Amino acid sequence: MDTSKLKNGKYYSGKFTDPGQYGGWFVGSFFENHDHPCKTDQLEIMYKEHKTGDIASPHYHKLKVELIVILNGKAKYNVNGNEIILLSGDFLFVDVNNIISGEFLEPTKIFAIHSPSIVSDKTVV
């Protein structure tokens, strides 16, 4: 098998805990440098450390799905009026056109993953 076409040279190793200039987003289409190896239209990934009382304002996405993974801590999310408590190890998947908001009930570390990466696809309610 000829594997020469499988080696595009696009890869990157880094620290996800370094918030960088994009507020914790470290993979996605938002990079201004078009040659950055983490620039992709396929998905967005963010790592964030929230303090007790932090709020994720109500919003929805028309074109991308959202996945929240709780690494540690505790959060209360609301999806279309339904309250969901998330603890360490829990996740929340939200498909398009669902209103989501959140409140962090204790210091909480999360990953947020969106797919595809469409920076402008967030409507605040």
Domain ranges in the chain are 42-117
Alpha carbons within 13 angstroms on the beta-carbon side of residue 112 total 18
Of the candidates 67, 94, 62, 54, the one whose C-alpha atom is nearest the C-alpha of residue 78 is 94
Query: Which pLDDT does position 34 carry in this prediction?
Result: 86
Instruction: Identify the architecture of domain 42-117 in CATH.
Output: Sandwich (2.60)
15 Cβ neighbours under 8 A, 6+ residues apart: none
Q: Say yes or no to pLDDT of 20 above 80.
A: no
Interatomic CA distance for residues 120 and 100, integer angstroms: 17
Alpha carbons within 13 angstroms on the beta-carbon side of residue 119 total 12
Cβ count within 10 A of residue 80: 10
Q: Are strands 100-104 and 108-115 parallel, antiparallel or unpaired?
A: unpaired
pLDDT digits (tens, 9 = 90+) for 29-73: 998 888 899 999 999 999 999 999 999 999 999 999 999 999 999
Query: Which pLDDT does position 18 carry in this prediction?
Result: 81
Interatomic CA distance for residues 99 and 106, integer angstroms: 23
Query: Which pLDDT does position 101 carry in this prediction?
Result: 98
Please say whether the beta carbons of 108 and 99 come within 8 A.
Answer: no
Q: How confident is the model at residue 115 (pLDDT cuts 50, 70, 90)?
A: very high
